[in-house]
Amino acid sequence: MHCNNCALSIHKLLEKKGLKNIFVDFASEEVKFSNNDTATIPGIIKDIEGLGFKVVDDPATEVTPFYEKIENKFIFCAVLTAPLLLHMVLPWHFFHNPIFQLALCIPVFLVGCLHFGKSAINSIRGGVPNMDVLIFTGSTAAFIYSLVGTIQNLGPQYQFYETCATIITLVLLGNVFEKRSVTQTTSAVKDLIKIQQSNANRIVNGVVEVISAKEVRPGDTLLVNMGDKVPVDGEILSGNASVDEAMLTGESMPVEKEKYDTVIGGTIIVHGNITMLATKVGSNTILSQIIDLMKKAQAAKPPVQKLGDKVAAIFVPAVILISVLTFVLTFFLGHTAPQTALMNAIAVLVISCPCAMGLATPTAVMVGLGRAAKNGILIKGGDTIEAVAHTKYVVFDKTGTLTTGKFRINEIKAEGDTGIELVRGVIMAIEERSNHPIAKSLVNELKKLPQTKVILKSAKEEKGLGMRAEDIEGNHYFLGSGKVADESGFNISLYKNQKLLAQIAVDDEIKQDAAALVAQLKKMNIVPVLLSGDKNNRCLKVAKLIGIDEVHGEKLPEEKLKVIDIYKQKGKTIMIGDGINDAPALTQADVGVSMNDASQVAIQSARVVLLNTDLISVVKFLQISKHTLLTIKQNLFWAFAYNIIAIPVAALGFLNPMLGAFTMAFSDVVVIGNSLRLKKKKVDG
């Protein structure tokens, strides 16, 4: 696929077949859909190929024949077109011979017929004419007109072979540049896929065997040495190492890992070596999920693209109509020579460029998402970029978002004659079953202290409240904040069979860059808001330290939704959170942003995931989104302005078809080039 109309024709075909969740992205050349019956797949592939496309399973293993490569087609046509153009400046008589010109033009025209004609005819059959219809019509009109002049010996004023050949050659040159540029815009995903491609050292019965990372299965024991890529996600069984996780988090400093720590596929061991247990392989690894999210994100269209899509769908028929009118008006009403009227009509066809409109949005979105990913920001949809434009409020959860999520136990107060070691044992047993940052910190701190071992039969987390558990003796426990803690600093309560067993005072530390982030948001005229389930006095204390004025404490998940709704009515609202209790609010906000070390539910609910722990990346995300949207608007302006100006200029006879083909070929390159600026562009402003 090489233009938006190609994608539209495939989309239409799949819709007619009644398929669901259709996704066609011409820039990455991918087609996806949901289908209950796999037996129909060969038929669907045959129908897509009937439209003139080729379906491949794995582009990495696909070998393009020499004669099908766009670069080779261009070189072949350029060699034959050069002498046709030279006849205009060189006096050599044989260059002017119509038979000599016809002999040079025929091979170029045949390449054009096979390349553009096949695509043009199939796009008309598909019901969505593409830009190749314009190129094919223009070059064919010039060729037939010249051929008739040669057969009837009508003289040099009927010889436009160079026009036909030059149109085809220049558009092929444009396609070469476009292909290379589009490849650059999709480089972020390709870079991630390359990271996946590595070997693994599998240990079987004490013997190390080298296999592909694709062959690793859950439960395999792997050896990873210094300088090696970690092949899949897993846990360290023995050894310790410094791991470079920059590809995932953007964090430049290596992370120290030891026994029981998790390692992520694609990261690199810069020092040390480890033996690890493979836990997630194939499409379940974090890297595979990121690649999948990136692909989906690149395909999600921002609302601003819909205008370009609508125009592109009716563009080709409209241009053909304008071209016919140009010929009729110039020849019959303008009383000009037929060749002048024809050249004007052909110029209208070849200067028009629906591709620029189709490429305007996806290329900018791809580069923007790629840049964000390299900064440790995973954006789940191109539409998210437009959703954050003109953000008015950024709502923060407190624990694990503005604070580190690392807690210290200040005090445990056991009620009555309950032993402190028993209390520690109950807390430890319950919190081991939770993913909440407080739970993790309590477990880390308590495992170093003496305690009575308690065995649980069951434990479950209650959103925004805490944990309920039952031990093997049938005792029921509740551990959590809810709204039961008093103002004395004890913010977690432990109940046994509905009687208070102990109270715990826990404190967490504020992240270093929280105050800087709040100050930066205020500079951008964005109002920071604190929304938490924690006690009011604790929320106010944190808010005061980092400069947040609007605070909502002691909110349960359903109450958080109401607060988000109120802010949404006042302006665009982003919610940043990390816990299970934040998931509904993350979904409810215009855009939900989740921290990478958040719970899986929060990550799935959010539209943006910060892969590093650096809060300032929130500002980076807003800046990249702003500049991506600006680039989309610049691209669309260029695409529309180019066509609005170029078509009337060509119709009035101020452009010959060869110059028209040249400017059309490079209008795409201008759009893609502007998108590629996003890779290096300064986005601080």
Which residues are catalytic, by number?
A: 397
Q: How far is CA 47 from the centre of its chain?
A: 28
CA distance 510 to 354: 52
How many CB atoms neighbour CB 58 within 10 A? Answer: 6
Q: Which of 545, 620, 558 is nearest to 584 (CA)?
A: 558
In degrees, rounded to 5, the angle at the alpha carbon of residue 97 between the alpha carbons of residues 94 and 100 is 85
In degrees, rounded to 5, the angle at the alpha carbon of residue 666 between the alpha carbons of residues 312 and 123 is 35
| DSSP strand pairing (499-510 vs 403-414) | antiparallel
What are φ and ψ of residue 652, in 5° steps? Answer: -85, 0
Are the CB atoms for 298 and 372 separated by under 8 Å?
A: no
| DSSP strand pairing (572-577 vs 591-595) | parallel
Cβ neighbours of residue 452 under 8 Å, at least 6 residues apart? Answer: 419, 421, 422, 424, 425
* CA atoms lying within 13 Å on the CB side of residue 464: 21
Burial 237-252 (b: 16+ CB within 10 A, else e): eebebebbbbbbbbbe
CA distance 3 to 429: 59
Strands (DSSP E) found in 415-549 = 456-462, 466-471, 476-480, 492-496, 499-510, 527-531
**DSSP-assigned beta bridge partners for residue 5:** none
Q: Count of residues for the chain?
A: 685
How many CB atoms neighbour CB 214 within 10 A? Answer: 14
Tokens of 578: 């990390």
Rounded to the nearest 10°, the torsion over CA 617, 623, 626, 627 is -120
CA distance 214 to 229: 13
In degrees, rounded to 5, the angle at the alpha carbon of residue 620 between the alpha carbons of residues 617 and 621 is 90
CA distance 51 to 118: 9
Burial 64-76 (b: 16+ CB within 10 A, else e): eeeeeebebbbeb
Query: Amino acid identity of 364?
Result: A
The 3-state secondary structure of 214-272 reads HHCCCCCEEEECCCCECCCEEEEEEEEEEEECHHHHCCCCCEEECCCCEECCCCEEEEE
Tokens of 477: 């426990």
How many helices and strands (H and E) does the chain possess?
23, 22
Q: Which residue has the tokens 């100006």?
A: 645
What 94-102 contacts at long range (C-beta under 8 Å, 24+ apart), as own/partner pairs, is: 96/156, 98/146, 98/149, 98/150, 98/156, 98/159, 98/161, 99/150, 101/146, 101/159, 101/161, 101/162, 102/146, 102/147, 102/150, 102/161
Cβ neighbours of residue 591 under 8 Å, at least 6 residues apart? Answer: 384, 387, 388, 391, 574, 575, 607, 608
CA distance 553 to 555: 6
Are the CB atoms for 256 and 242 separated by under 8 Å?
A: yes
